[in-house]
Amino acid sequence: MNLFWSLFITFVTLATLMGCAALILWCKKDLNGINDGEDMGHEYDGIRELNNPLPKWWTYMFWGTILFALLYLALYPGLGNYKGLFNWKSSDQTTRQLSASEETLVKEDGINQYAREIFQAQEKYGKTYRNLIYVKGTDTFLPLFEVAQNPEAMKIAQRLFLQNCAQCHGSNARGQAGFPNLTDKAWLYGGEPQSIKNTIENGRQGNMPGWLSAYGQEGVKDLAAYTLSLSGRKVNQEEAAKGKTRFVVCAACHGTDGKGNPAFGAPDLTDNVWLFGGSRKAVEDTIAYGRQAVMPAWKNILDEGKIQLLSAYVWKKSQPLEIPANKPSSVSAPVEASL
């Protein structure tokens, strides 16, 4: 805040308080030479106004609020750039990243309330938290499928999911148009624990180009017919046959068989699971105009432990049955070892 606004705010705030004080003093004064309780000489519809003093309890309360305001303004920031005697700060408004927030924590030594509360929460919950994701007494993460079997860890992970992910993927993780369902077997980027963790940590950006300018309305229609036929939908055979000849360009990302490619996040077009809608119109729109969905990266927002919990949670959500006690059949040994 520059000096002008700082002084302006200070002046207006203090002048208002002084105005209130002046008002009380003025109301206490007998300005008309009329004694307490006497008629003021006004009469409205038979109701007379008497010169009664303000009730004492009310006056004291009024003084109390003014005193409170002055004390508050002395101790806490509020008057322009004045920092207050406690030097209190809610948070560092310039902080955007987890690492910067941790620096503030050390640097400001508890003055910044947000940093202080984070620090206190780490002290209080850190240990329980560690037990959920690390091998006891070490800095090695537990395998994700093991974390996924711990009900306490999953309870925390569910809360993290509701806070950070549900607005896009839904509170049940089943997604919505443009935001993938995380509970099924149709993965854009792979459903192994490590791929899921990678997605969450670094984010993803799908890029499906649009083809309207290259192939025109007709070409798009044919391609949509062929695409829909891949998942066994009834289509115009003639259109589909024409679409098939054009599908070579699509094969670069979706594969010759249309089964997709996790390296590009190109979806499987044969499973009748549709990220952007499976109606003929929606598929034609996708092919004509393209789609660019963005999954944000979380590594600068959530710490690694939270990402570990969320990865386990999402992986578990996609498992059809309860995971067997020691080893899930769907995770191969080398994957486990790398986690």
Instruction: Summarize as ranges the residues that interact with ligand HEC (CB under 6 A).
Output: 164-165, 167-169, 178-180, 182, 187-189, 196, 199-200, 204, 206-209, 211, 223, 227, 249-250, 252-254, 264-267, 269, 274-276, 283, 286-287, 291-296, 298, 310, 314
Tokens 């996040």 -> residue: 265
The nearest distance, CB 28 to ligand HEC, in angstroms, is 59
The nearest distance, CB 115 to ligand HEC, in angstroms, is 22
Considering beta carbons, is residue 169 or 316 the nearer one to ligand HEC? Answer: 169
Cα separation, 215 vs 45, in Å, equals 86
Cα separation, 133 vs 217, in Å, equals 53
The nearest distance, CB 315 to ligand HEC, in angstroms, is 9
The nearest distance, CB 87 to ligand HEC, in angstroms, is 35
The nearest distance, CB 150 to ligand HEC, in angstroms, is 18
Considering beta carbons, is residue 104 or 286 the nearer one to ligand HEC? Answer: 286
Cβ neighbourhood burial of 220 (10 Å; 0-12, 13-18, 19+): buried
Cα separation, 119 vs 110, in Å, equals 9
The nearest distance, CB 266 to ligand HEC, in angstroms, is 4
The nearest distance, CB 153 to ligand HEC, in angstroms, is 14
Considering beta carbons, is residue 144 or 188 the nearer one to ligand HEC? Answer: 188
Q: Give the number of other CB atoms < 10 A from CB of residue 121.
A: 11
Q: Which two tokens stand for residue 21?
A: 């004080």
152-160 contacts, C-beta under 8 A, 24 or more apart: 153/309, 153/312, 154/312, 154/313, 154/316, 156/129, 156/132, 156/309, 157/309, 157/310, 157/312, 157/313, 158/313, 160/302, 160/306, 160/309, 160/310, 160/313
Considering beta carbons, is residue 79 or 307 the nearer one to ligand HEC? Answer: 307
Considering beta carbons, is residue 243 or 328 the nearer one to ligand HEC? Answer: 243
Residue nearest to ligand HEC (CB): 206
Considering beta carbons, is residue 108 or 201 the nearer one to ligand HEC? Answer: 201
Considering beta carbons, is residue 107 or 185 the nearer one to ligand HEC? Answer: 185
Instruction: Measure CA 131 to chain center.
Output: 26
